Chain A
Amino acid sequence: MAKPETNPETIVAAGMRIEGELKSSGNIRIDGIVSGKIHTSQDLMVGPNAQIDADLIADNAVIAGVVKGNITAKGSVLILETAKILGNISCLSLGIKEGAYFSGACRMNEPKPTATNGQ
């Protein structure tokens, strides 16, 4: 499960507004307003005051703010109690804390079978 406090390389702090496609190869933390698309090959943390109107693609995601858009994660998605999500989620594992709002469909991906010796 993704940790809420990983060391972010990209930070959109409170008060910043971004429009367009935000791409990173490192961890991203969003506390501001983003519309468009967010794409990272690592972890994404959406803070409790963040407002996102965008599709999110990440390795793992922790959501504590408002997200209007689809969330696609290779690994886990953790929805914290302050989160409000209007969109679909695709992930390997999902955690939802009591009090969170989630309106959408969820598609759980099958874990890839691990190769064994001799096969």
Chain B
Amino acid sequence: MYYYIVDPGKISQRDFERVQNQLYSSVSEYKIAGEIARVTTLRTIPQLVEGALTRGYKTIVAVGGDDTLHDLINAVAGREVGIGFIPIIASEVGQILGLGDIPHSAKTIAIRRIEEMDLIYINHNAIITSVAFGAGMQAYSSIFELWRLPTFQIDFSADNNEFRGTTQAIGGVVINSRLKKPDNQKLFNPTDGILDVLLLPKLSKFQTLKFRIDILKGNFEKIPGSSIIHVRQLQISAPEGLPLRVSNKIITRTPATIEVKPKALKIIVGKERKF
């Protein structure tokens, strides 16, 4: 039996009713009906998950955005339960998992192809995708703002002190999985037990202008002068207080430990998945 956690998030009441109707008809059509619970301020995702596990549900489905899925993953926290996802808004994770709209995602859940994926843990917060700091993967109002991005010295140690590093950078991204694959297909594979770390140095004004789209998207591997290293665990010790962002949301600040837990997530994926 399936337990659906529906998170309306920021969508309007009118859109939510449309989503709910589509959800009811899709789970009925693909014979994956179950209990449907809506997230409210009084019924949070961790509370709903505890209730579902107590009642013996073996598959919990997040219906919402990437944040909803990440909240579900953290609430489940390594317990033996299958996870599904039905994105109701634009979702990078949904595309990585090969999910489309509500009917397509419901059909995928009915087919029930389960894959094991790596998770990134950032100070005990689990995510599927990537964590960014400094420049990159956030919106800027103008090119002038990009030109004025501060440089900071980043000090880190990797793989339980196997090596230590330091460099001047304006931004960085630690990636488990990402929608856009680079030419080098070995990068950003969420099943290899490795995190790919991209560090962007200070660029000239011309280079900043030339690579502004790649800076905004965090595609630092396409920008000459960037460093790319691969780690299982990364401890950022300096600078202190640097915000670490997931999908534009600050989840913690440095000093922080970022590590990969290989194959820690069992999740239902579509055949168009990107890994």
Residues of A within 8 A of B (CB): 7-24, 26, 32, 36
A21 touches B162 (CB 8 A): yes
Residues facing A in B149-189 (CB within 8 A) are: 158, 161-168, 183-184, 186-187
Starting from the known contacts A8-B228, A18-B165, 6 additional A-B residue pairs (CB-CB under 8 Å) come to: A9-B186, A10-B229, A11-B226, A11-B227, A21-B163, A26-B186
A20: contacting residue among B163, B199, B201, B226, CB under 8 A: B163
Bound CA–CA A15/B151 (angstroms): 12
Is the pair B163, A36 in contact by a Cβ cutoff of 8 Å?
A: yes
CB <8 Å contact, A19 and B164: yes
Contact of B161 among A9, A10, A20 (CB under 8 A): A20
**Most B-side CB within 10 Å, residue of A13, A15, A36:** A13
Q: In whole angstroms, how far apart are the Cα atoms of A8 and B227 in the complex? A: 11
Contact B164 A18 (CB under 8 A): yes
Q: How far is the CB of A39 from chain B (nearest CB, A)?
A: 11
Q: Provided the pairs A7-B184, A26-B186 are in contact, do residues A12 and B164 lie with their beta carbons within 8 angstroms?
A: no
- Specify which of A21, A22, A24, A36 lies most central, judged by the most chain B CB atoms within 10 Å of its CB: A22
The reply to whether B230 and A24 form a contact with Cβ atoms under 8 Å apart is yes
Q: Given known contacts A7-B184, A36-B163, is B168 in contact with A15 (CB within 8 Å)?
A: yes
Say if the beta carbon of B225 comes within 8 Å of chain A.
Answer: yes
Interface residues on B, range: 20 to 34
In angstroms, Cα B156 to Cα A16, docked, is 11
* Contacting pair A12 B229 (CB below 8 A): yes
CA distance A20 to B163 in the complex (A): 4
In the complex, are the beta carbons of B228 and A9 less than 8 A apart?
yes
Would you call A7 and B227 a contact (CB within 8 A)? no
30 contacts between A and B (CB under 8 A): A7-B183, A7-B184, A9-B184, A9-B187, A9-B228, A10-B229, A10-B230, A11-B227, A11-B228, A12-B227, A13-B167, A13-B227, A14-B225, A15-B167, A15-B168, A16-B165, A16-B166, A16-B167, A16-B199, A17-B166, A18-B164, A18-B165, A19-B163, A19-B165, A20-B161, A20-B162, A22-B229, A23-B162, A26-B186, A32-B227
Is B165 within 8 A of A10, CB to CB? no
Q: How far is the CA of A26 from the CA of B161 in the complex (A)?
A: 21
B187, B199, B229, B230 pick with most chain A CB within 10 angstroms: B229
Assess whether A18 is in contact with B228, with CB atoms less than 8 Å apart.
Answer: no
Say yes or no: A20-B227 contact (C-beta < 8 A), given A7-B184, A9-B184. no
- What separation, in Å, do the CA atoms of A22 and B158 have in the docked complex? 10
Q: Contacts A7-B184, A26-B186: A13 and B166 contacting too (C-beta < 8 A)?
A: no
Query: A14 to nearest B CB, angstroms?
Result: 7
Complex-state Cα separation, A106 to B184, whole angstroms: 34
* Residues of chain B contacted by A36 (CB below 8 angstroms): 163
- B167 near A32 (CB under 8 angstroms)? yes
Nearest-Cβ distance from residue B176 to partner chain A, whole angstroms: 16
